[in-house]
């Protein structure tokens, strides 16, 4: 049986194309979009460090990958310099406007208003991406700020031929864009979606980028641009004010760090749930003896589902740590986790209805990830998002900035699922200045010798954490980076009570898992990892997930 499952995994594994794998001893960028990745590589070639390249890639993606790259969203960054200091953890997550309230998406009967937290200006939180890029550059950047934005400005001004995938996404969201004149003017010229091969030009966005290049973050959060963004948002029914923009600040935080199979894993802290959930899940696997099992075998998947079930149940009480402090020490304590797994049955699935959060709180699928390594060994793992595809679909007036719909990541009503089916508690309810809970999990993994081994991350909403977790399991078990990315993935998030399995990979698991009480559902792709790993010769290998059209580009040695 075990041999058959291993064979199935190998047969299912997705093929890797040449542009999705690159090798270099001196620098690497892996991202979802080729133009942005090439811009990052050019920055490294010009003597920039990993933060410089990450900044340039981030602004380029706002132009070339508008469904997730952004100026109007937010994200998280981990950075480890080549001198061995850090890692440093930057939270530039969006936050609720000052006039936001816990009931702002509920009708008079207390029921959620359809699409209110997903579509249009009311769905948008105060953007953090520009402030985050600027803060990272101010602290660690080596090249001039304006030089890093110049390629994105040129890309927005001159335009680029629309690739098939982006054209399909625009067509899929045409009805949403059509509701907002500024959005329609960009993506639906002449009233119809731009077609593949047509030139997408964004002159308004170019002007906004130029203001940011000349004035830094103040060019976005202060002055005429901020006035236009806020006025257009509020005129259309949103709540972002000039005061909200002026008050926004990114936060340097303490990352989550834990040991797994002799490696040190460093990942995001709240308001991302990624690091804590990863630590609970991977530690839980060890407590259940899964290290001796083949990753992807039925027995391993059963244990994986059970540790994920309990970690996501604890996630119910997570929220912005500035509003709801979390007992981080307790959540990562092995005795606490051992207690959470006390009812584990190796021959039977636990019912999610019988699993509740294990602690009492203190009172108080569109995202993109990219990875960068520079010549000194410095590395950035960065995940950024608008939340859903094209966020709220609302472009703010003449700014060219597509705003997020990140307010849906708050708890609209406790116990009700969000866009990704996640059930969340009162700790994540909307409040002025609060940042919504996230699953983004940019991660760095250091080897037993203390040297950086892997730079990891993925989009995917609630599946981000399980995607990154499975990759760490495979890599630390000795799989190559290429094989680990191509292997099939599974996901469990407590509620709904089921194991999601990538289509085509369920055959080897479904019957046995259902026999012991699991519900198994086939679905499309889970995650899209863009990763960099240390090669055997001491150089770097970059791998883009074969599930998407990502690209790995390395410096010539």
The catalytic site residues sit at: 367
339 closest CA partner among 356, 324, 317: 356
- What is the secondary structure of 72-119 as a DSSP string? BSEEEEEEE-TTS---EEEEE--B--TT--TTTTB-TTSPBPTTTTTS
- What is the secondary structure of 361-382 as a DSSP string? PPP---EEEEEEE-TTS-EEEE
Provide CB contacts within 8 A for 295, sequence distance 6+.
Answer: 470, 473, 474, 477, 479, 487
Provide CB contacts within 8 A for 7, sequence distance 6+.
Answer: none
User: Quick one: how many helices (H) and strands (E) in the chain?
Assistant: 19, 19
545 neighbors 13 (Cβ within 8 angstroms): no
The span from the CA of 387 to the CA of 117, in Å, is 11
The span from the CA of 518 to the CA of 304, in Å, is 12
Provide CB contacts within 8 A for 20, sequence distance 6+.
Answer: 543, 544, 545, 546, 550, 551, 552
10 closest CA partner among 482, 376, 403, 497: 482
The span from the CA of 464 to the CA of 459, in Å, is 6
Query: 10: which strand partners?
Result: none
Paired tokens of 550: 């990502």
CB half-sphere exposure, 417, CA atoms < 13 A: 11
End-to-end CA distance of the chain: 45
56 neighbors 152 (Cβ within 8 angstroms): yes
Look-up of token digits 């690209």: 551
CA dihedral 300, 306, 515, 422 (to 10 degrees): -120
Paired tokens of 283: 């530690």
The span from the CA of 507 to the CA of 525, in Å, is 16
The span from the CA of 317 to the CA of 376, in Å, is 40
């Amino acid at each position: 049986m075990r041999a058959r499952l291993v064979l199935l995994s190998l047969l299912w594994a997705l093929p890797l194309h040449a542009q999705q794998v690159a090798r270099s001893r001196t620098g690497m960028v892996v991202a979802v979009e080729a133009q942005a990745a090439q811009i990052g590589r050019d920055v490294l070639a010009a003597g920039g460090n990993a933060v410089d390249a990450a900044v340039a890639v981030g602004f380029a993606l706002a132009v070339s990958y508008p469904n997730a790259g952004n100026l109007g969203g937010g994200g998280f960054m981990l950075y480890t310099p080549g001198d061995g200091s850090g890692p440093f953890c930057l939270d530039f997550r969006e936050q609720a406007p000052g006039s936001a309230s816990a009931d702002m998406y509920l009708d008079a009967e207390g029921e959620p208003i359809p699409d209110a937290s997903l579509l249009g200006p009311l769905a948008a939180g105060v953007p953090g991406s520009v402030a985050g890029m600027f803060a990272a550059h101010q602290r660690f950047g080596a090249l001039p700020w304006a030089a890093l934005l110049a390629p994105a400005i040129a890309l927005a001004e001159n335009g680029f031929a629309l690739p098939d995938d982006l054209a399909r996404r625009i067509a899929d969201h045409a009805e949403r864009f059509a509701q907002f004149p500024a959005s329609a003017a960009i993506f639906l010229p002449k009233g119809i979606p731009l077609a593949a091969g047509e030139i997408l030009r964004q002159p308004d966005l170019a002007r906004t980028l130029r203001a940011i290049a000349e004035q830094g973050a103040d060019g976005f959060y202060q002055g005429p641009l901020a006035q236009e963004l806020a006025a257009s948002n509020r005129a259309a029914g949103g709540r972002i004010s000039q005061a909200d923009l002026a008050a926004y600040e990114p936060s340097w935080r303490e990352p989550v760090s834990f040991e797994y199979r002799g490696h040190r894993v460093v990942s995001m802290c709240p308001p991302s749930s990624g690091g804590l959930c990863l630590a609970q899940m991977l530690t839980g696997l060890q407590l259940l003896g899964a290290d001796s099992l083949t990753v992807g075998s039925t027995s391993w998947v059963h244990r994986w589902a059970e540790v994920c079930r309990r970690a996501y149940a604890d996630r119910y009480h997570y929220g912005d740590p500035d509003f709801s402090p979390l007992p981080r020490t307790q959540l990562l304590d092995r005795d606490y986790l051992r207690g959470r797994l006390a009812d584990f049955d190796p021959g039977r699935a636990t019912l999610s209805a019988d699993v509740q959060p294990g602690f009492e709180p203190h009172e108080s699928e569109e995202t993109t990830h990219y990875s960068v390594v520079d010549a000194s060994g410095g590395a950035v793992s960065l995940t950024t998002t608008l939340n859903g595809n094209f966020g709220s679909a609302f472009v703010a007036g003449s700014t060219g900035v597509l705003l997020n719909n990140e307010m849906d990541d708050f708890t609209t009503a406790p116990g009700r699922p969000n866009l990704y089916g996640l059930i969340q508690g009162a700790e994540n309810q909307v409040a002025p200045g609060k940042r919504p809970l996230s699953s983004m999990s940019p991660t760095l993994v250091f080897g037993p010798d203390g040297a950086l081994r892997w730079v990891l991350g993925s989009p995917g909403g609630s599946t981000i954490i399980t995607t990154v977790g499975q990759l760490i399991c495979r890599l630390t078990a000795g799989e190559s980076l290429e094989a680990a990315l191509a292997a099939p993935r599974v996901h469990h998030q407590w509620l709904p009570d089921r194991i999601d399995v990538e289509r085509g990979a369920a055959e080897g698991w479904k019957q046995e898992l259902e026999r012991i009480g699991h519900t198994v559902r086939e679905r499309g792709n889970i995650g899209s990892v863009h990763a960099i790993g240390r090669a055997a010769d001491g150089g770097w290998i970059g791998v883009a997930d074969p599930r998407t059209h990502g690209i790995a580009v390395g410096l010539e040695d």
